[in-house]
């Protein structure tokens, strides 16, 4: 059989609501003009079947983290599954992806499990999984501009990490970027990233949902390209996490994958990745998907609870999101709720929530076993702990928790936890630094107090 080259393969936008609208990936378009549904990128699966599962595995493994630019990137190593017809010279990559999958044995045994892994998507250029989607979106913009599409700037509303990724990839390719942030609601690290990368940083007196409304209006002109996750190009990069996880587990699916969800694009992306792996024969079974939300920003959890089931037709009502330590998922009107519900339905999934106390303690518990979990990862870990305690996840089952950002981006959360200054929280696992005079006796006393006298 002839092995397909990138030239034979193609992908296009299609209406995700099932009407037969299609558009090329080089068109400036975010919604179906017929039904206003979100778009998704559709691939020619029959053409992709021109390579066998074994050939795909060998191709992906051969490129993984290697030096053949840009195919050593975790995203562009799977270019045929992401954006096959994109010209390689238009790829804007910071070698995103290829992140560690680490086993948390001590943490697992503490919560009564045996086989828990953390996929560290935050160990990447700007410190969050947003790099995976942004490399695809900014590369697509570069390709459009090269073809004469008059895009002046790329814009996004952000809870912090999206703007950091957008600013970095735009700076790397010389494309202007505009980011709209809710004033006072993003961490210092998140704010300083787009500032450093030269974005036009606009702090608005509102929350994320308010920023989102403004940026949608701003991008009504095709000259301002919208980078939010309603833009389905980002989903294509983010879905490669599923391929990496499966590859890192020796081409097998785990029993469960747990992911924190805010705007819910990433949950949909993960589901899409696993379905593609199954449809192309790289795995024979799907994991079950858990979407974990902060109790203070839980529109999906409420919707599924009210309906008594998780399916694509469950209506998700917007809520006013309350303040949560998991600031990147403080979202009351998730744009991609339907994408997530479709993924949950296809992957026999469920939705769990975590209180502020639960997410903070879960992050601290994982840290004490060597992790350094951001608060969103804390939400996913808390969901794992609750599902394990309820017997839904059984001790021998293999679980992969998706860590969405690097803990270092949220040092205020970490410091506040251990200093005991987070409002309303009683940190059960505090480990504050001990202040001492500079004497041997004082230090020996402190050591004895912690570990017992010799
Ligand atoms: C964006 C983000 C999320 C949520 O992803 P969605 O696709 O909006 O659900 C979770 N954690 C972190 C750290 C993020 O930056
Ligand atoms: Zn449509």
pLDDT in tens, 61-75: 999 999 999 999 999
pLDDT in tens, 14-32: 999 989 999 999 999 999 9
- Does the bond joining 288 to the residue before it have cis omega, within 30 degrees of 0? no
E strand or H helix at 181, and its extent?
A: strand 177-182
**Measured between alpha carbons, how far is 17 from 37 in angstroms, rounded to an integer?**
6
Please report the pLDDT score of residue 5 as a whole number: 56
Ligand 1 pocket residue status of 130, Cβ below 6 Å: yes
What are the C-alpha distances in Å from 222 to residues 30, 37, 114? Answer: 11, 19, 51
Please report the pLDDT score of residue 18 as a whole number: 84
Q: Lay out the sheet containing 39-43: strands in order across.
A: 22-23, 11-15, 39-43
**What average pLDDT does this structure show over 145-165?**
95
Is residue 414 one of the residues assigned to a domain?
yes
| More reliable by pLDDT, 5 or 320 | 320
DSSP sequence for 94-126: -------EEE-HHHHHHTT-SEEEEEETTSSTT
Ligand 2 centroid distance, CA of 15 (Å): 5
**What average pLDDT does this structure show over 202-211?**
93
Report how many helices (DSSP H) and strands (DSSP E) the chain contains, helices first.
17, 13
Strand partners, 118: 102, 401
pLDDT in tens, 292-329: 999 999 999 999 999 999 999 999 999 999 999 999 99
Please report the pLDDT score of residue 454 as a whole number: 63
**Measured between alpha carbons, how far is 119 from 242 in angstroms, rounded to an integer?**
10
The 8-class DSSP code of residue 322 comes to P
Percent pLDDT > 90 in the chain is 93
Is residue 379 one of the residues assigned to a domain?
yes
3-state secondary structure of 406: strand
Q: Which two tokens stand for residue 359?
A: 């997410």
Lowest mean pLDDT among 36-45, 179-188, 230-239: 179-188
- Looking up residue 314, the CATH number of its domain turns out to be 3.40.50.1100
Is residue 312 one of the residues assigned to a domain?
yes
Q: What residues make up the domain containing 379?
A: 101-125+235-419
Ligand 1 pocket residue status of 327, Cβ below 6 Å: no
Is residue 144 one of the residues assigned to a domain?
no
What are the C-alpha distances in Å from 318 to residues 100, 104, 239, 321, 373? Answer: 35, 36, 26, 9, 28
pLDDT in tens, 216-238: 999 999 999 999 878 999 999 99
Residue tagged 């007196």 (tokens): 205
Is residue 377 one of the residues assigned to a domain?
yes
Percent pLDDT > 70 in the chain is 98
DSSP sequence for 261-321: -SSSHHHHHHHHHHHHHHHTTS-SSPPEEEEEEEGGG-HHHHHHHHHTS--TT-------P
Is residue 90 one of the residues assigned to a domain?
no
| Mean predicted lDDT score pLDDT of the chain | 95
Q: Contact 45/51 with Cβ under 8 angstroms?
A: no
pLDDT in tens, 357-377: 999 999 999 999 999 999 999
Decide if pLDDT at 453 tops 80. no
Task: Specify the number of domains making up the chain.
Answer: 1
Q: Which two tokens stand for residue 51?
A: 């390579």
Please report the pLDDT score of residue 214 as a whole number: 96
Is residue 52 one of the residues assigned to a domain?
no
Q: Contact 70/91 with Cβ under 8 angstroms?
A: yes
Pick the closest to residue 18 from 1, 35, 41, 43 (CA basis): 35
Pick the closest to residue 350 from 306, 419, 288, 274 (CA basis): 288
**Measured between alpha carbons, how far is 211 from 189 in angstroms, rounded to an integer?**
19
Is residue 247 one of the residues assigned to a domain?
yes
Ligand 1 pocket residue status of 325, Cβ below 6 Å: no
Our mutation pick for probing the ligand 1 site, out of 121, 126, 164, 263, counting the most ligand atoms within 8 A of Cβ, is: 263
Ligand 1 pocket residue status of 329, Cβ below 6 Å: yes
């Amino acid at each position: 059989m002839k092995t397909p080259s990138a030239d034979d393969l193609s992908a296009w936008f299609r209406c995700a609501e099932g009407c037969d609208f299609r558009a090329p990936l080089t068109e400036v378009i975010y919604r179906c003009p017929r039904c206003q549904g979100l778009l998704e990128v559709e691939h020619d699966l029959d053409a992709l079947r021109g390579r066998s599962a074994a050939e795909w595995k060998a191709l992906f493994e051969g490129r993984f983290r290697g030096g053949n630019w840009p195919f050593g990137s975790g995203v562009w190593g799977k270019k045929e599954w992401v954006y096959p017809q994109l010209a390689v010279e238009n790829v804007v990559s910071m070698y995103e992806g290829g992140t560690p999958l680490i086993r948390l044995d001590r943490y697992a045994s503490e919560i009564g499990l045996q086989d828990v892994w953390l996929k560290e998507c935050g160990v990447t250029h700007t410190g969050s999984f947003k790099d995976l989607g942004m490399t695809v979106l900014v590369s697509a913009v570069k390709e459009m501009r090269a073809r004469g599409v008059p895009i002046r700037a790329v814009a996004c509303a952000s809870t912090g990490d999206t703007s950091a990724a957008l600013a970095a990839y735009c700076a790397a390719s010389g494309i202007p970027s505009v980011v709209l942030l809710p004033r006072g609601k993003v961490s210092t690290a998140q704010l300083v990233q787009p500032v450093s990368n030269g974005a036009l940083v606009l702090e608005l007196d509102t929350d994320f949902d308010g920023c989102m409304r403004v940026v949608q209006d701003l991008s009504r002109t095709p000259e301002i390209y919208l980078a939010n996750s309603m833009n389905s190009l980002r989903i294509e990069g983010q879905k490669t996490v599923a391929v990496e996880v499966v590859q890192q587990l020796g081409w097998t699916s785990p029993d469960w994958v747990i992911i924190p969800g805010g705007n819910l694009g990433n949950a949909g992306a993960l589901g899409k990745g696993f379905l593609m792996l199954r449809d192309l024969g790289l795995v024979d079974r799907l994991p079950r998907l858990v979407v974990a939300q902060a109790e203070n920003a839980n529109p999906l959890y409420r919707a599924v609870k009210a309906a008594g089931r998780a399916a694509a037709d469950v209506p998700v009502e917007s809520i006013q999101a309350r303040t949560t330590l998991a600031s990147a998922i403080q979202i009351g009107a998730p744009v991609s709720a339907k994408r997530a519900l479709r993924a949950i339905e296809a992957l026999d999934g469920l939705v769990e929530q975590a209180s502020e106390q639960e997410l903070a303690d879960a992050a601290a518990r994982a840290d004490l076993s060597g992790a350094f979990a951001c608060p969103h990862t804390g939400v996913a870990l808390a969901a794992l702990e609750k599902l394990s305690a309820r017997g839904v996840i059984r001790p021998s089952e293999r679980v992969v928790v998706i860590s969405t950002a690097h803990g270092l981006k949220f040092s205020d959360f970490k410091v506040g936890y251990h200093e005991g200054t987070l409002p309303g929280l009683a940190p059960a696992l505090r480990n504050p630094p001990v202040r001492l005079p500079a004497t041997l006796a004082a230090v020996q006393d402190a050591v004895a107090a912690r570990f017992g006298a010799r």
